[in-house]
Amino acid sequence: MNAPLPATALQAVQAADLAALSLIEQSVAFASVSRDSNLPIIEWIQDLLQAHGIESHLSHDDSGKKANLWATLPAHDGETKIGGIVLSGHTDVVPVDGQPWDTDPFKAQVIGDKLYGRGVTDMKSFGATALMMVPELLKRKLKRPVHFAFSYDEEVGCIGVRRLIADMVDKGYRPAGCIVGEPTGMQVVIAHKGKHAYKTSVRGFEAHSSLTPQGVNAVEIACEFVTKLKSMHRKLEAEGPFDPLFDVPFTTIHTGVIAGGTALNIIARDCDVMWEIRHHHLNSPVLLFNEAKTFADSLLPAMHAVASGTGITHTLNSVLPGFATDADSEIAQLCFRCAEVDSALGAGKVSFGTEAALFHQVGVPTIVCGPGHIAQAHQPNEWVSLAQLAWCERFMRRMADEICVN
């Protein structure tokens, strides 16, 4: 994503120039960490919309402590269901526990040319800026409906939005496009990788550590498996296949957690490995998994020769599909114009997953475009530049010019 910045994005921006700043600050003040209820921020959004006569529909999780919000600004002719655009974002943020913050993470603060706070990049600024536009969109009247979709539990596996999307389909909404406002530096992202996450569990056989031939060491076997994963990763990195539009242009394999053993003088019985494949469309995650599994299977005869009951099992813990929207699609072209990026240079593909894939799966052409950069997400002292926030406001205003009657 090396598109040149529009000239307006290079101008110095003051906090006073930002119409959405107050709404961003208010939304950051809700400490909507995924493990806690998001109802306070959802009710705040509901009240904001209600003040303009817009009803919200909430879909709760099974505990009733979290909810998605769906709301529609109708078109001038009263149409609410067919066509139009979804502006989508998640309300949850990642925790701040143990992170060395220099400011109160839940009190957004402008320092110099940046705004600091948990969620300013990932991803409360996009939602607040979209909400800021509501009075203008209603006043200028819409050619087609605009929908707001705010979800819970994105940060723990895109959980909430699945229910929101099922509801959207059930109720007969057929939006023509969706913009997910995850941080892309306001570049228009038309694809991201898919992710398959696995847990591989090695069951060995315990023995005194002085009697290694009589035991099956689960930790060592897990390490052999991880080494295989790493060699597969290195091959992908060296040989591809490559899609140069991605920030990381090849499919990656990564081990995040390895846990096993109980004491140095005991041959470890159990070891678990948590690992993932993040693949673009040129690789099949199933084939890559099969290669890893075939290697694991090759270790079994030696394990069984020492002790029956040993083994290696694999669990597919989560799947997030990838997505790819045509750069020539209506929604992508609209976003190129609104973000003021050249469609030939500005189309990007990213390696991190988003809710976009799930909208895409039900046939809604979706792009990802929002202020801030993923590098600042989930970090202590998370920040977004005021220039990015101004760019997002311009994006929304230019969009209003295209989708409003007046």
Nearer to Zn ion, 23 or 73 (CB): 23
Min CB(120)–Zn ion separation in Å: 12
Q: Which stretch binds Zn ion (CB under 5 A): 64-72, 114-122, 220-228, 237-245?
A: 114-122
The phi and psi torsions of 29 (rounded to 5 degrees) equal: -65, -20
Structure tokens that stand for 94 in this block: 């990642």
Please report the beta strands in 205-352, taking only residues with DSSP state E, as ranges in sequence order.
252-260, 270-279, 311-320, 323-324, 347-350
Q: Is the peptide bond before 123 cis (omega within 30 degrees of 0)?
A: yes
Min CB(296)–Zn ion separation in Å: 33
Structure tokens that stand for 4 in this block: 């040149």
Binding residues for Zn ion restricted to 274-333, rule: CB under 5 A: none
Handedness of CA 57, 59, 64, 65 (dihedral sign): negative
Q: Which stretch binds Zn ion (CB under 5 A): 66-74, 103-111, 175-183, 185-193?
A: 175-183
Nearer to Zn ion, 122 or 220 (CB): 122
Nearer to Zn ion, 91 or 251 (CB): 91
CB–CB of 1/348 below 8 Å? yes
Nearer to Zn ion, 250 or 395 (CB): 395
Q: Which contiguous run of DSSP H or E holds residue 229? A: helix 218-239
Binding residues for Zn ion restricted to 256-275, rule: CB under 5 A: none
Instruction: Return the closest-CA partner of residue 370 out of 117, 202, 200, 130.
Output: 130
Min CB(121)–Zn ion separation in Å: 8
Contacting residue, 25, 92, 122, 276, with Zn ion by CB under 5 A: 122
Binding residues for Zn ion restricted to 76-105, rule: CB under 5 A: none
Contacting residue, 20, 33, 120, 123, with Zn ion by CB under 5 A: 123
Identity at 204, one-letter amino acid code: G
CB–CB of 387/110 below 8 Å? no
Radius of gyration of the chain (CA): 24
Min CB(37)–Zn ion separation in Å: 18
Nearer to Zn ion, 299 or 377 (CB): 377
Closest CB to Zn ion: residue number: 122
Q: Residues interacting with Zn ion, by CB under 5 A?
A: 122-123, 182
